[in-house]
Amino acid sequence: MIQAFGLTSNSRKGVPPAVDDLSFEARAGRVTALLGAQGAGKTTALRLMLELQQGRGVTYFRGRPLHRIAHPSREVGVLLGDVPGHPARTVRGHLRMLCAAAGVPVRRADEVLEVVGLVSLRDERLGTLSRGMDRRLGLACALLSDPHTLVLDDPADELSTRECHWLHGMLRAHASQGGTVLFTTADPKEAARAADRVVTLEKGALVADQDVADFARTRLRPRVAVRTPHAARLAALLAKEARASQRSVEVVREGGNRLSVYGSTCADVGETAFRYGVLVHQLADEIGDMGPGAGEPPSEAPGGPGGARADAGPTEPTGSSVRGASGQPGDRGEGEHQPRVVAGSADALRTADPLSPLPPPIAVRPAPSPLRPLRYELRRAAGVGTGFLTGAAVLVTSALTAVLLARVGHTPQPRLLAAWPREMPLPPAALGAGLLGALAFGDEFRHPALAADRGTVPRRLGLLAAKLVVTAATALLLAFLTVGCDAEVLYLVYGRELAEVPDDWMSLSVSWLGLMVGCAWAGVLAAGVFRSTTAGLAVVVAVPVLVVPLVQKVLEGASVRTAAAGFPARLREVFLLQWPFGGERYLSAVARVVAQPVGGALTLSLMALLCAYVLTTLRSRVR
């Protein structure tokens, strides 16, 4: 169950808080609706409950606040706004990525797609989905980990009547299996139709917390729905007879040929129409929303004479209980999807939608998300074409730059193969590796996908390690492809002379690979710390521009030069044993690279960024 105590949002200067001291419960096995007009504070209340917004108060999900739950998506499935996924990712690819994050079998993606009716759209991009399909995908994401609690913000927004019936059946099925469901809505009829309990908000404060029967009796009232081509004449006749008999009857013209008559019956309206020869196409009892001012006397209602008013509600009473004058279901064009009235008092409204099938339950072990970080990161990186396009752009730019440098001349062979002009702080390949590293975390914050609240990316060291491994492999691959493409293009354009391998190729290779991996890691760490792709790439560029000059000044000291000169000999003394395959030579080459200004600056930057990331991780865990 959900228990919210004293939820209060932070107020701005001169503006009252959007939510003020809100407390309520949503019990397990029941569907709870959070009802309120636009601006009543419903979404703010959910964000406070999910710890997405600063404020006061506490919310317990089965006795624990969200930040104390090891694996939040296992406990709470959330739908807030649109699905926060990369618009270029496919529907199935997005769910498969979340499967790896949640630690569930990949077949789970196909199961929830079948349940929400998106199997035919599984290869569509997220950016091309309609609003209704996006809501279905959001529900699929919420159900993916088989959570106990569903928290949904206006899930029926812009859904058709048929889709609303399907959604309500799905929520009812989840609650019938012992789960907790909390959803927000601005439609009282939807709340009465779909929920077991209704919590009403107004201007951020609790107005009522009622069972649906009490809510329907106090908030909703019966009315007679009439369709006639002579709506204006019949409205005037009904108002005239109401004044003559001194009865409180309100006639609402709802546009076109439809009237809603409050305070009367089908029999009275039918007799009036028959007496004056007015043709009637439909005559049915309904349950309607009282709305603002609906309880006022007809004489005070705005509109035409006799209390008839023109501020019509919706032209179609979506999903409301309808029965014709003879007791048969009214003609609303929904056929077998027409909800049936549950036995109860005449004032109470309860409808029972057929239970929709749920995906089969699964067993998920509690653990920090993502449960399978390496698999998640591989699917995240390969699910969109950004990385492939970046790699292709780097290869083309490097090849063209190498050809231009060879034509100009005066460029050493190693820099020529790396397409690294002296005027640039970094070669195109290193900038590309840094960009790919920055995207690894930058895209997470632009299109978050991991956390149960769908709002932030958890700072897990396992996730960081997975991103470092994947970006390092990508950087190494890009390094080999860049040198190979540059050498091949130089050979084709200028011949074998410019494509020869340098004599000190081993140390140069270590330096080149270290530069590529270091730039990629700097992008990952900087984007993770500053939560921005741009900041990650800026840090990569700042290393040679700002940090290298500082390291050079430090290395210019006499004592530092003396220590660096004797380092290889001392290294050989420490490692007396011969490593297999001459491993001590590679270790010595790595040490020489680190001792260089660029290598030292990159090493210092990575250490500083790693410390900053760990500190922010510990800080988030100590909240």
Q: What is the DSSP string of 369-411?
A: SPSSHHHHHHHHHHSSSHHHHHHHHHHHHHHHHHHHHHHH---
**Domain annotation covers residue 346:** no
pLDDT at 350 over 60: no
What DSSP state is assigned to residue 502?
A: P
pLDDT at 438 over 90: yes
**Domain annotation covers residue 365:** no
Q: What is the pLDDT of residue 95?
A: 93
Banded pLDDT at 271 (limits 50, 70, 90): very high
Q: What is the pLDDT of residue 511?
A: 85
176 and 37 co-located in one domain: yes
Q: What is the pLDDT of residue 228?
A: 93
pLDDT at 186 over 80: yes
Q: How many residues does the chain have?
A: 623
User: Model-level pTM?
Assistant: 0.72
Domain boundary among 149, 179, 203: 203
| Residue-by-residue DSSP string for 282-345 | EEEEEEEE--TTTTS-GGGSSSSGGG-B-----SS-TT--EEETTSSPP--S-GGGPPEEPSS-
189 and 241 co-located in one domain: no
557 and 487 co-located in one domain: yes
Task: Report d(CA 134, CA 188) in Å as an integer.
Answer: 24
228 and 184 co-located in one domain: no
558 and 449 co-located in one domain: yes
**Domain annotation covers residue 356:** no
238 and 149 co-located in one domain: no
Output the CA–CA distances (angstroms, integers) from residue 72 to 1, 17, 37, 602, in the order listed: 14, 27, 29, 36
Output the CA–CA distances (angstroms, integers) from residue 439 to 377, 432, 444, 473, in the order listed: 12, 11, 8, 15
**Domain annotation covers residue 64:** yes
Domain boundary among 176, 203, 230: 203
Q: What is the pLDDT of residue 368?
A: 57
**Domain annotation covers residue 438:** yes
Q: What's the pLDDT tens digit per position in 54-91?
A: 889 999 999 998 888 877 888 899 998 888 889 999 99
**Strand pairing class (149-152; 76-79):** parallel
Task: Report d(CA 465, CA 467) in Å as an integer.
Answer: 5
What DSSP state is assigned to residue 90?
A: B
pLDDT at 164 over 60: yes
Mean pLDDT computed over every residue of the chain: 79
Q: What is the pLDDT of residue 578?
A: 54
159 and 276 co-located in one domain: no
Domain count of the fold of the chain: 3
Q: What's the pLDDT tens digit per position in 480-492?
A: 999 999 999 999 9
Longest dimension (CA), the chain: 115
Banded pLDDT at 597 (limits 50, 70, 90): low
Q: Identify the CATH number of the domain in which residue 189 sits.
A: 3.40.50.300
Banded pLDDT at 154 (limits 50, 70, 90): very high
**Strand pairing class (340-341; 76-79):** unpaired
**Domain annotation covers residue 344:** no
The lowest-confidence range among 110-114, 134-138, 559-563 is 559-563
488 and 547 co-located in one domain: yes
How large is the average pLDDT for residues 217-229?
Answer: 84
**Domain annotation covers residue 208:** no
Q: Identify the CATH number of the domain in which residue 318 sits.
A: 3.30.70
456 and 584 co-located in one domain: yes
Task: Report d(CA 620, CA 613) in Å as an integer.
Answer: 11
**Domain annotation covers residue 67:** yes
116 or 297, higher pLDDT? 116
Banded pLDDT at 509 (limits 50, 70, 90): confident
544 and 592 co-located in one domain: yes
Q: What is the pLDDT of residue 323?
A: 30
Banded pLDDT at 477 (limits 50, 70, 90): very high
Domain that holds residue 233: 219-338
Q: What is the pLDDT of residue 220?
A: 79
Task: Report d(CA 150, CA 2) in Å as an integer.
Answer: 10
Sequence-ordered alpha helix ranges (H) in 195-255 = 212-219, 231-245
pLDDT at 382 over 70: yes
Task: Report d(CA 163, CA 155) in Å as an integer.
Answer: 11
Region of residue 333 (phi > 0: left; psi between -120 and 50: alpha; otherwise: beta): left
For 213, the 3-state DSSP assignment is helix
How large is the average pLDDT for residues 94-101?
Answer: 91
How large is the average pLDDT for residues 373-401?
Answer: 93
* Side chain identity, residue 558: A
Task: Report d(CA 198, CA 209) in Å as an integer.
Answer: 6
Task: Report d(CA 428, CA 549) in Å as an integer.
Answer: 21
Q: What is the pLDDT of residue 370?
A: 78
By CB atoms closer than 10 A (0-12, 13-18, 19+), residue 320 is buried
Q: What is the pLDDT of residue 365?
A: 45
| Residue-by-residue DSSP string for 23-72 | EEEE-TTSEEEEE--TTSSHHHHHHHHTT-S-EEEEEEETTB-GGG-SSH
Domain boundary among 338, 363, 382: 338
Contact 342, 350 (CB under 8 A): yes
264 and 138 co-located in one domain: no
Contact 525, 608 (CB under 8 A): no
327 and 404 co-located in one domain: no
